[in-house]
Amino acid sequence: MEHVGWRRFVVASTFLIGITVTVGTGCNPSGGGDGANDNGATTNTNTNTNANTNDNAANENGGPDVPPRADLVDPRSLTYVGAFRLPLRAAGAPDAQSWEYSGQALAYRADGDPDGDDDGFPGSLFGTGHDVTNNVGEISIPVPIHSRNLDELNRATTLQDFEDIRGGLFDPFVEIPRVGLEHLPAHGARSSARLYMAWGQHFHEEVETTIPTHAWRDPDLSTGATDGAWWVANESLYSVNGYLFSAPQAWADAFLAGRSLLTGRFRDGGWSGMGPSLFAIGPWQHGDPPAAGTRLDADTLLLYSNTRGGDSAEFQLTGYQHSDEWTGGAWITSGDQSAVVFAGTKGSGYLWYGFTSPGGDGMPCVEQNLTMVGCFDPDGVECPAAMSNFCEGNIPESRGWWSSRFDAQMLFYDPADLAAVLAGEMEPYEPQPYATLDLDDNFFLGDTVEPIMLGTGDQRRFRVGEMTFDREGGLLYIPEPFADEAQPIIHVWRVGAVAGAG
């Protein structure tokens, strides 16, 4: 089947050709970096030497190390529980009422599905459906099954049908939309629970798409109005509207003046910053609801140098590549341990702007007539001119940023680093992950309905959707797009469980 969203992606990527992206010699966008082995694959768990006072370096063979402090979540304590499937499209239902091509946004609701089974997986999930319309629905959480056989997985049931919750506020965002969701209960100045949303798109260059991006509404999707939209201070739209999650309220009260809602975005090519960005906001502090057009106060927690122009600095995530996709975040906790994590698809090896490797060997296939450096070797050095020519056998529909290899990966940040940024003791581009975790071993990663745009084998990209966390239950929910034909499946990890349990 032809998918309109992917066709729009090709048009958007073509537009990038006319934009100058400056990449300095110190940028090292090729990746590799800490946590890469000789063939470009990330190790299962790796602890990096951090940019702060942590002195715990990774061991020589790249194997797992303990975190630098006992109050940090050890990636090895994440126990894979299993996965479940999403509801099937009803007979005759349109694309807008399906979970196909979905995975943009996911949010946990602790008081959802109150009549559900007492099976250890309480609550419900809000999520966006088909990625052209991104209508929002609510589903139950069935018991995850640890199996590679899709037929053995339990299937979620529908609690609330898909609804268009934008309220007309974000209708101009039609070109590769970006969406974030988070559900928070009532507290403080908030009179009731709210479903928070962030909305954007791939390009924000036109007047009609330079509009505020955040809003909230009642969790009952069929009633009530959507309030907003609001700006995130004066931050770039490329850095704020990709994901939403929340900080523990006690931490937010201590360091963020109560602003516990976290928002950010990673946009390929470094336009959002060369690594995930993160800001803290508290819309409820501006009214119930804030007036439309309000510029919300925002605390910057994480922000690397960007490549949009005008930023000559080259501060970036270690091992950064322009093809990376950090699609979701969560603040995970287990007892007194915590970590801020981002999940996505990490590129390594050669990096180029162009097309998937025609030979399937991970060698660059570079677009011609670029106004930017379009190819780097695994050490971050510009490719020889002979390698940067327009390649034979290219597939035009695959145009975009590519790497020799992609891996589903999770980054672990130290919350103390974010506190240091707030205190002015670190710059927002200084924090680096203290560990990474490879997720591929638990993913299906089979054939997809979109092999040209998604890639195949080692070059399979867009492996991860937006995650969400059940703090009370210690359960982390991560979608794998296109694992069930055109639908994602939801993978589940338990944070802090003894390895091998579950």
HEC-encoded secondary structure of 87-114:
CCCCCCCCHHHCCCCCCCCEEEECCCCC
Note whether 40 and 378 are within 8 A (CB).
yes
Q: Residue ranges of the chain with pLDDT lower than 50?
A: 1-64, 498-502
Query: What pLDDT was estimated at residue 385?
Result: 83
Residue carrying structure tokens 């997809």: 448
User: In whole angstroms, how far apart are CA 26 and each of 223, 304, 423?
Assistant: 52, 14, 28
Enclosing H/E stretch for 489? strand 487-495
As a whole number of Å, the end-to-end CA separation of the chain is 38
Pairing of strands 261-264, 278-281: antiparallel
CA 12 to chain centroid, in Å, comes to 20
* Alpha-carbon gap, residue 45 to 64, rounded angstroms: 5
Instruction: Kindly provide the residue ranges of all beta strands, DSSP E only, lying in 321-446, ordered along the sequence.
Output: 325-334, 337-354, 375-376, 400-413, 435-438
User: In whole angstroms, how far apart are CA 307 and each of 267, 384, 437?
Assistant: 11, 22, 27
| Nearest Cα residue to 249 out of 127, 338, 326 | 338
Other CB atoms closer than 10 Å to residue 323's CB: what's the count?
A: 25
* Alpha-carbon gap, residue 141 to 156, rounded angstroms: 6
Q: 215: exposed, middle or buried (C-beta count within 10 Å: 0-12, 13-18, 19+)?
A: buried
CA 362 to chain centroid, in Å, comes to 24
Delimit the domains of the chain by residue range. 4-287+297-495
Note whether 106 and 112 are within 8 A (CB).
no
| Nearest Cα residue to 496 out of 163, 75, 53 | 75
* Alpha-carbon gap, residue 304 to 122, rounded angstroms: 37
| Nearest Cα residue to 326 out of 388, 410, 256, 259 | 410
Note whether 365 and 396 are within 8 A (CB).
no
* Alpha-carbon gap, residue 482 to 447, rounded angstroms: 9
Asked if the peptide bond before residue 67 counts as cis, ω within 30 degrees of 0, the response is no
Note whether 193 and 184 are within 8 A (CB).
yes
Query: What pLDDT was estimated at residue 66?
Result: 63
